[in-house]
Structure formats: structure tokens, C-alpha cells
A and B are shown apart, each in its own frame.
With several copies, the nearest count.
Chain A
């Protein structure tokens, strides 16, 4: 057992830090600090910068055009990236983190060649269609269906929470191709352009008054045969393949580390009594408690990264990371709002423009919106209740 990062890791950290210092544009850093939703144009520009460096897809193997980094390297990269105020990669759609791995693992040579480079270069913006209204965590009950018709598939149904579909030009989804087998079987994985006739995207405005979510309707959408990824009927297992890694990402350990730095900054900017809130013992105690929770989550995250590199699959840890990570996200964002006092009440998403000088300090810009949107963190990617169900099953199976 040796829980320390190696000298190679430290060198890698320095390399990442230096690159970001030089190449992460200040306007993007500022946007990432101030608002949750970032304009796709900015994201594309950033993706091109990353691609030029060869870092467009940190999680992909080299042969797919990725960095080939180990999970621990990715952990280090993510930490540096977040501490430098890099924008949330998902703001560039689900290309790099979700559909890429499915394509390079299950796609044909032709599919890989067609889609992967465009993702790396930031040319395609992907939206995902997994969830359906009323299905919640019960993914296997999905009702969108794809019917074979000659060389085509005809897709009809209704998806919800299709993040950033209004910015996307490509879409992937799960649809039922065989209604006669048990629910988890008979689901297949499709990709196609979002402007295919019959696709309608309807915005869902979230309680932060932002627009990142959508409902998507499919009315006899006709797509060619090679829209199917992998084997027919195996879509469910491909989706499950993504979930472990997604839970790791959703825990947002490094980003929350940055959020806690920001929280100290906000507290230091908020007057309180004779000094600032950062000098108020009771408030500091609340931050400290969260910092300690983060410290243990970092240790847990490093262990999971190491396990990934060792090829050890630990489903319990993935659920625990998701559970604890998203709770911590919420605690930190809530405390950030608490820190703002009255100033937090002034609600001014960027697109509103209804006021001149915000009452909250620069350090606190966007924090209310972030807190509101991230109420969803314990809901998406398998709700906390779902994680507890999964965990209990795994634990009982052991004893």
C-alpha cells in the first residue's frame, strides 16, 4: 500500500497547470465562474484549443484519438482543470464523456471514423435521450420504440431531460426494438442528426430560469440502418456500461473543491459585524465541516481512480461517490447562498439584464442560479434514493 502520488504524477500536474495557465482563455474562466450555462460558441472554441494540444478527450484511449491517460491522471487533470475555472465539459454536450466511449467500444470502424474526429474537433454537439417522462429511475420501462422498415428504423416516442438538445446537431437515444422480451432486453442504441424530420425539441426552463433541459418528441423519425450502434437489443447493457464512470463525474469532487475556495472568497467579501463573514466563527465552522467532508471524498475518489486503473469494478464505491458527492455539491452551493445574505435574493440570470450593478460581490455571481439548478444533482444520473437501493442490494448480496 502506498497512497501517495508519484513524482511522475506531480510532473504531470505541473504540465497540466502550465498548459491551463497559458491556454484557458480568461473570458471562459470568467464565464465558468459566473454562470452555469455557457454559450456553445465559447465551448467550441475551447474544444479546438484542447484538440490542438491533443487533450480533447481525456478519458479516451490513444487509438480513438484520446490522451490514453490513466484514471489517476484524469483525476489530477480534472482537479487542475476545475481549480483553473475550466468550464464544465458537459457544456460542450455529451460527445466526449458519453457517446464517445460507446462509439469506440461498440461502434463499427465506419461509425468510429465518421463520428469520433468530429467530437474531438468540437464540430458535433451531442444530446442524449435516455430518460422518459414518468419513468424516473425505472429506465428499463422505456416506451420509445424503433421499428425496422426496410433498410431504415422508424422511431416514435418521447424523451425528457435531453440536456442541451437545443444546441445539439446530433442525438443518441435508447429505444425499444423488441417489445416481446423482458424489459431490459430488446432495447437498442441509436445515433442520428437532430434535424432529422420528425424530431421536435421543446425547452424545459429550470428553476434557475436557465435553459439547458428539453423534452424531445419523435414522430415516426426515419433513420438509416447504420444509426444503430452495436448489436440490436444490447442498448441497455451499453447504457449501464456508462453509468459507473458517469457517477464518478457527477460527484464533481474537484469542482466542489473549487466551489469551497469560492465560498471562502464570498465569505471574505461579505461584511459581518466589525469584520467579514470569514471571521465569523460560527460560519467558518460550517465551511470547515464541508471541507472535511471533501477531504474524505477526495481520498475515496483517488481509491476509485486507482481501482479503475487496476480494472477493479467497485459498484459500491461508484454509488457512494455519487451519493456523497452530490450531497456535498448541494451543501456547498447552499452555504454559498447563505453567505450572500440579502444580496442572494437579487435574481439576475445573464440573459435578463434587468439591473446594472448587482448587490452581490463578483465572487458570488451566479451562485444562486447554481444552487437552484444543482438541486437536480441528487436526481439526475440515478437519484440518491436509487443509489441507496443499489447499494443495499450490493451489500446484502455480500453478507
Chain B
């Protein structure tokens, strides 16, 4: 057991943090989120140049082959800076699905491209008729001579407006399948919109869209999707931890600078205690999130239990930290002009991703041994 950073991890964090401080300060963030529809920015190439888009991609496919703990560090840093690049969609969920499910040709075609920053993906999994269960998909894939055909609808596909290709979770004769769809595929319609945290999303309609199956027809797509979603959920937890840390820091700076009734408002004991409780929530979320990252390499039962506990804890902590960060900023907390509100919205956006508090509490309960 070792909680300290390895040399490799320290170097990764240092270079990433330096780049973020430079390229992703609040002013840059505001510029990046100002225009609509969103345009690909050179921040993506910046992340690729740092190696992080290939973080979990094996060396043999041009990545650096690091693990979940390393990804946790990266996610925290990205969350601290409210990064809006399609990192989760491409370098985490997309890459993991390809690694777990793709055939050799697909890996060769896509993984190095992700590592080098040449490929952006979006993963279409949510549907109006299924709450958080990707296997309740009503999007149907039909096998034809030259691949698959897709019919159905997906909603809130994060990063879709920026994606070069899509990975679509569908069902083929009742079994889950992941289909690769090109952006310019005939029959594909995108309705794009901002997400609440100023990332980009879209609803997608598939009207007999040609697609390619990810991996062999015999592969266990269910298992791969389950594992990839758990990795993605931990990424979201870590991102929330980063966002909480930044929101708390902004709040402390605010209460220490703002004066009322002749003193810094940070001196009022009720606010001091609130700050302390926020730190306590952040610590609990961070500890559990790291624990879940470690748990990803355990057996399925332990993995799912740790991930669900982390998601619930992180949502609860996010709510406490986010709400109080806004509250302690006073009126300016609800203004777009002040950064804290953006962190609040990122934390809100993290809630439903890969299962909300109700979903994961129920999953945790179903996995718990009720020992005597």
C-alpha cells in the first residue's frame, strides 16, 4: 500500500498542471466556451502532446499504457480546470471500449490516432426510454453483408458535436453491440446543444445508418461495456473531486477577501465551520474515489461495489461543496461572471453521468453482503 506519487506520476502531474495553468486558465476557458457551435480547439492537440490522450492506451498502439490511478490524477487536474475537450469520450470511454473489444485492425486504426490527437470520439449510450442502463437500448443494429445498419435514437451524446466518429451502444437480436459510425454517415441526424456545464452534446437519430461492428461478433460486449462504464464513472468521480477542490479554494479566497460588518466574512464562525465541512466532504470523496480507482482491478463484485460507493459519495460531497461554494459567494455566486458558478454546473453535470445517486445506491445495495 502506497499513497505517494511515483516519479512517473509526479512528472505527469507537473507537466499537465503547468500546461493547464497556461492554456486553461479562466480567461481561456471563457473564450473556448463562448462560441456556438463549438469549434475544435488546439487544446486537444496540447493534451495529446502531453501524452495524456494516450494515457491508458498500450505502448504498442502509441500510448503510454498507464493505469486507473494515473487516470485519476489526470481527471482531477482536468476537473480543476473545467476542461471541455472530449477527453472522457475519446481517451477514456472510447479508448477503453476499443482496447477491450476492438479487433486488431480497429485498434491499429483508432488507438494511435487517439494518442496523437488525430481522432475525437463520442459514445452514444443514453436513451429516453432507459434511465442509466445501456443494455435497455432500443437502438437496433442489423447485420448486413458489409457491416451493420442502425435504427434508433440516442440522447445527450456528450461531445458529439466535436466527434469525428461515434461509438454507439445498440442491440443486435437482444444482445449488446458497439457500432462505429462515421460522422458523415448517411441517415445520421444530429441535434446539437450546449450541456449545462458548457460542454457540447447532441441527440442523434439513426435512420438506417451504415456502421461497423467494434470487435468480433463473438466478443462479450456486455462485459466490456460494463467495465468501460465503471472506468468512466471513476473518471467522473475524479473530475468532480478536482472541481470541488477548485470551488473550495475559490470560496476560501472569497471569504478571506470579502469584508462585512467590519471584518473578513471568513472570520464568522458559521462560515469557518462551513469551510471545514466542505473540506471534510472533499476528503471523503477523494478517498473513496481513489479507492474505486484501485478497485477497478479487483473482481467484478468488488469493483462494482467500490465504483458505486464512490459515485454516491462524490455526488453527495459535490452537492455539499457546490451548493455552499455558491452560497458563500453571496449574490455573485449565481452570476456567470464569477468562476464558482461554472464549477457548480460542472458538478451538476457529473451527477447523472454513468449512473446517478439513486442508480448507484441501488447497485451498491444489490452487491452488498449482509453478513450476520
Contacts and interface: CB of A to CB of B under 8 A. Distances in A.
Contact, chains A and B (beta carbon distance below 8 A): yes
Given A207-B336, A271-B128, A306-B2, A344 B352 contact: yes
B12 to A, nearest CB: 12
B217 to A, nearest CB: 29
B131 A273 contact: yes
B372 A395 contact: no
Max chain B CB contacts within 10 Å: which of A136, A207, A372, A396? A207
B92 to A, nearest CB: 17
B283 A300 contact: yes
A284 B365 contact: yes
Contacts of A303: 3, 287
A27 interface: no
Interface string A295-332: 11111101100110010000011011001100000100
A295 B4 contact: no
A268 B368 CA distance: 15
A303 to B, nearest CB: 6
A368 B196 contact: yes
Contacts of B372: 261, 264-265
A327 to B, nearest CB: 10
B253 A399 contact: yes
Contacts of B272: 388-389, 392, 396
Contact of B283 (A213, A289, A320): A320
| A interface SS class | helix
A351 interface: no
B290 interface: yes
Contact of A316 (B128, B279, B308, B371): B279
Contacts of B285: 296
Contact of B352 (A4, A206, A342): A342
A300 B313 contact: no
B364 A288 contact: yes
Nearest to A283: B358
A343 B364 contact: no
B118 interface: no
Contact of A357 (B191, B260, B283, B333): B191
Interface stretch (A47-55, A108-116, A226-234, A378-386): A378-386
A115 B78 CA distance: 55
Contacts of A268: 370
Interface string A334-372: 100110111111111000101111010000000010001
A320 to B, nearest CB: 5
B330 A270 contact: no
Interface in B252-285: 252-253, 256, 258-261, 265-266, 268-273, 275-277, 279-280, 283-285
Given A207-B334, A207-B342, A392-B273, 8 more contacts: A1-B290, A4-B294, A204-B336, A282-B361, A283-B358, A296-B310, A338-B356, A341-B131
5 shortest interchain CB distances as A-B pairs:
A3-B294, A391-B276, A296-B288, A392-B272, A299-B287
